[in-house]
Amino acid sequence: MYGAKGILKRALSGRYPIGLSKGRKVILCYHHISDGIGPLDSPVYTTALDNFRHHMELIRGLFEVVSLDEIVNGEGKGRNKLAITFDDGFMSVFKVARPVLRSMGLPYAVFINGAAVEEGHNWMVDLLAHAQDQQYLASLRAAVGVDDDPSQESAEDVIGAIMEKGVFSETFRCAYRSVRPPPGMFMSYGELEQLVKEGVTIGDHSWDHYVLGGSSSEVTSDQVAKGKSLIKALTGDYSKHFALPFGKKEHFNGDTLRILGECDYCNVYTTNPNLFVGAPDVNGVRLIPRIGLVNDSSQRLLFYLNRALLRQHDL
């Protein structure tokens, strides 16, 4: 009745494949967790609180939830292990996700962008907040060298074009920061210091959330160096964890990894949805996969976990 594909999909949406395995490691990646419909709750990065809570209840039963350090450095033996991460440093992680995680005693990590911490700026969120301002959108397209196309007017189209073809430089930085950022979207020093006190792992995600594969070596080095200093100031130590903005292989290149290796970022995270089975170390850098989630149902989460278990290969 369901066909072979349907039967497989149903089987992969249950608890048993992952529940019966041992010694597996998996890392989840979230962004913004929303407890309502905010004007900037974009479907691109928002997970509803109810779904997030269900995910946490589910994984708590199926995995030993551990810190990022433990999952990347510990042995792959015994109970399946899972780590929780959040990219971009949204304020909702502090206000909405944190109470859930604390009540369940679950460790987690946050990957931050310096421009968001210091000034509240993130180019995509700025762009979405000013999506009606055609002059602003045109100035961003021009600043990254994407041809001005009047038929291409939606904010999502502009984001897509910038990601695909953009040259991320100081010109773009000036252009995207020419508007007021929407207030209160990102954690600043105060919230992050509180997270550090509570034992949350802080990693870097580049200063301006650039597609690092579209930046020059100089720009990438600057993006990474500034973030490194910020995390040292916040935590008292340098981080070994760097999550690549956007995280797919088209968003970084060999030069990106070389610079990250030189800056001692030995654990570099992608959004390649696999298990972590121990990646080869290239010039001191390991590429570590994560399963990215955006408002997926618990059934869908199980499907991703089980599919990764079946694939069991790395980048």
Binding segment for Zn ion (CB under 5 A), chosen from 69-77, 88-96, 217-225, 262-270, is 88-96
Of 41, 88, 204, 208, the one binding Zn ion (CB under 5 A) is: 88
Binding segment for Zn ion (CB under 5 A), chosen from 81-89, 90-98, 152-160, 306-314, is 81-89
Instruction: Count CB atoms within 10 A of the CB of residue 161.
Output: 17
Question: What token pair was written down for 7?
Answer: 């039967």
| Shortest-Cβ-distance residue relative to Zn ion | 87
- CA 76/CA 156 separation, integer angstroms: 40
| Residue 87 is a binding residue for Zn ion (CB under 5 A) | yes
Instruction: Convert 277-296 to b/e letters by CB count within 10 Å (16 or more is b).
Output: eebeeeeebbbbbbbbbebb
Q: Which helix (H) or strand (E) holds 203?
A: strand 201-204
| Residue 41 is a binding residue for Zn ion (CB under 5 A) | no
| Residue 126 is a binding residue for Zn ion (CB under 5 A) | no
Question: What token pair was written down for 195?
Answer: 């997270």
Residues 192-251 touching Zn ion, rule: CB under 5 A, are: 245
Shortest spacing between CB 209 and Zn ion, in angstroms? 6
The smaller minimum CB distance to Zn ion, of residues 270 and 306, is found at: 270
The smaller minimum CB distance to Zn ion, of residues 24 and 241, is found at: 241
Binding segment for Zn ion (CB under 5 A), chosen from 9-17, 18-26, 83-91, 135-143, is 83-91
- CA 67/CA 98 separation, integer angstroms: 15
Helix (H/G/I), strand (E/B), else coil: 129: helix
Shortest spacing between CB 16 and Zn ion, in angstroms? 33
Q: What is the DSSP letter of 80?
A: -
Helix (H/G/I), strand (E/B), else coil: 292: strand
Residues lying near Zn ion in the complex (CB under 5 A): 87-88, 245
